[in-house]
Chain A
Amino acid sequence: MTQAEIEIQMLAVVVAAACALPGAFLVLRKMAMMSDAISHAILPGIVAAFFLTHNLNSPLLILAAAGTGVFAVLLVELLMSTERVREDAAIGLVFPVLFSVGVLLIARYAGDVHLDADAVLLGEPAFAPFDRLVALGRDIGPRALYAMGAVGLANVAFVALFYKELKIAAFDAGLAATLGFAPTLIHYGLMTSVSITAVAAFDAVGSILVVALMVAPPAAAYLLTDRLRDMILLSVGLGVVAAVAGFQAARLLDVSIAGAMASAAGAVFAIVWLAAPRYGVLAGRRRRRRQKWEFAEKMLAIHLFNHEGLPEEDTERRVGHLEEHLSWERDFARRVVRRAQSNGLVRQANDDLLALTPKGRAAASEAITNL
């Protein structure tokens, strides 16, 4: 990789990590769509603040524009509080309006600066290395990398410092309130963090990628663990994986970097969704299939157990009779018998006759008492 490419890759990794932290809490609070609203609604704020600062990476611009993100959340909540509009509709109403105001402002007043409607949606990480930060007369790297790094560190500090508060407010807002933790304050703290991250990341990667990196890695991490701390760490890790895979794919295929990274985030989620060891789709299917066979084996054991030592035992013990008594297909019955044999529950005494082993008898009587 060239120096510029290394810088772009570093920026992508930092953006992914910074987005995953507040993203994990958005996903847990079932507010993933809020990231969509915020990342679009900040546009008019960015344009307005740009007129004041003339610098897309100035901390002042980031804070001022983040205010628009929080304002969008307030508008959504205002609409919801009237109980005439549901949350999904409120989000769908607020962010396109604010976003299009931003687009109009750009078209009317900022046509000649590096701020156009395409860049807003997809960003252009490839430009990041051109805007350098110079300190004491020396070039110390792309400005965007420092801006994003500062926001990322702020997010780390926010989550580390208020981990307990964020957790209790997300799990049980009622308890949080009675214990004096002001869940509304925590809510707006999180929304501020999302807004600041979205503003800082938008210039480099655009609003689509912000949404992808805030939602996909945490949603994937949620399927991999049962612990909040691990979920947050995994979100960051999976975000970084998506950033590296996406950028390398973009280099290889010569396509949009932001587009490739968003696709990589989607691919990471899809892989985890399918293959997660416990909560993945495939694991669930495997588990259901295994349960089906285990249940059938248990039924077989109970059937033999119920007829043990009775006069009709010999007819009931025949494999062929299972088809009649349990209404099993012949193939299915044979496979159940074979599995039960290899698990040591039954043995085939002679030709067609089945008998319970001591283990099978124990399993049957346990199953009956647990019915």
Chain B
Amino acid sequence: MSGAAAIEVRDLTVAYRDKPVLWDIDLTVPPGVLMAVVGPNGAGKTTFVKALLGLLPVSAGRIRFFDAPYEASRQQIAYVPQRGSVDWDFPTSVLDVVMMGRYGRLGWIRRPGKREREQARDALARVGMDAFAGRQIRQLSGGQQQRVFLARALVQDARVYLMDEPFQGVDAVTERAVIDLLRALRSEGRTLLVVHHDLQTVEEYFDRVMLLNVRRIASGPVEQAFTTDNLRLTYGGRIAFLRSANTADAADPAAP
């Protein structure tokens, strides 16, 4: 258990017709880290997560979770899709959506019961949404929807969490709550791979990062991989202003 990487990707290529969306990606994610996947729009971040989950056909490559193929690890992997991927007008309650996270363990036909309801309530409490359990999901704000998705991932009790833009369009309070939760999950020894769009917060939130633009530009601990050169390679020349501001801040404490 300790030796194997949480996620091991070798030579992963995903193509849309004759156009590669992901090209020859290698990535090793050690267990117990909080890792960001960043890159410009169209870089293949969502495709990468979906390919890991077997939701897309893969042209080439090998994906292992704790040294086992995805099909054998299904129960240990939780997926938090983008909020916009579901119909929030669906006639169901917050508690019901969270309980869906337990469906995988229940298997076919068996219905969720009292135990699943309790687990869902606990998870809602952890994301500060316990008061909303009985609400119809269409009454939720964007940040609340995100918390419900996180609660649903929590009840899956997984070893690996794959999250697609959990900070997208949420307010500052929710962002704080989400990052606290991600850190709590990491401190429980779980592994988190998070598609992230805000370069300003990468250094503060994450301990590892992969820079992606069709190919893997760099990956590793944030202080090694998240460099100006690598960012320029990933985004082109458009992020110079951002980095100069950040490095100035970072340099201050080191000054004599």
Which chain A residues have a beta carbon within 8 Å of chain B's beta carbons?
Answer: 28, 161-165, 167-168, 170-172, 174-181, 222, 225-228, 230-231
**Residue in contact with A172 in the complex, picked from B100, B109, B111, B138, CB distance below 8 Å:** B100
Contact pattern, B 80-123, Cβ under 8 Å of A = 1, otherwise 0: 01000111001111001100100110101111100000000000
Contact check, B85 vs A174: say whether CB atoms are below 8 A apart: yes
Interface residue ranges of B130-158 to A (CB < 8 Å): 136, 138, 152
Closest to A179 in B: B104
Contact check, A170 vs B90: say whether CB atoms are below 8 A apart: yes
A170 to B103, CA, bound (A): 14
Contact check, B103 vs A179: say whether CB atoms are below 8 A apart: yes
Least CB distance, B48 to chain A, in whole angstroms: 15
A170 contact set on B, CB distance < 8 A: 90
**21 A–B contact pairs at CB < 8 A?**
A164-B103, A165-B108, A165-B109, A170-B90, A171-B87, A171-B92, A171-B100, A172-B100, A174-B81, A175-B79, A175-B152, A178-B77, A178-B104, A180-B104, A181-B103, A222-B91, A226-B92, A226-B93, A227-B91, A228-B90, A228-B91
Task: Decide if the interface of chain A is mainly helix, strand, loop or mixed.
Answer: helix
Tally of contact residues, B, Cβ under 8 A: 29
Contacts A161-B109, A163-B111, A171-B100 given; does A178 touch B91 at CB 8 Å:
no
A178 contact set on B, CB distance < 8 A: 53-55, 74, 77, 79, 104
Contact check, A168 vs B91: say whether CB atoms are below 8 A apart: no
Contact check, A171 vs B97: say whether CB atoms are below 8 A apart: yes
Least CB distance, B109 to chain A, in whole angstroms: 6
B74 contact set on A, CB distance < 8 A: 178-180
B106 contact set on A, CB distance < 8 A: 164
Contacts A163-B111, A175-B79, A175-B81 given; does A168 touch B100 at CB 8 Å:
yes
Contact check, B103 vs A168: say whether CB atoms are below 8 A apart: yes
Closest to A221 in B: B91
A165 contact set on B, CB distance < 8 A: 108-109
Least CB distance, A72 to chain B, in whole angstroms: 25
Least CB distance, A237 to chain B, in whole angstroms: 15
A123 to B143, CA, bound (A): 51
A41 to B241, CA, bound (A): 61
A226 contact set on B, CB distance < 8 A: 91-93, 136, 138
A68 to B18, CA, bound (A): 34
Chain A CB within 10 A, most for which of B77, B90, B138: B90
Closest to A162 in B: B109
B79 contact set on A, CB distance < 8 A: 174-175, 178
Least CB distance, B59 to chain A, in whole angstroms: 18
Closest to A176 in B: B103
B90 contact set on A, CB distance < 8 A: 28, 170-171, 228
A155 to B54, CA, bound (A): 31
Closest to B153 in A: A175
Closest to B152 in A: A175
Can you add 17 more A-B contacts, CB < 8 Å, to A181-B108, A225-B91?
A28-B90, A162-B108, A167-B92, A168-B100, A168-B103, A171-B87, A172-B85, A175-B79, A175-B81, A177-B54, A178-B74, A178-B77, A178-B104, A180-B74, A181-B104, A226-B91, A227-B92
A176 to B79, CA, bound (A): 10
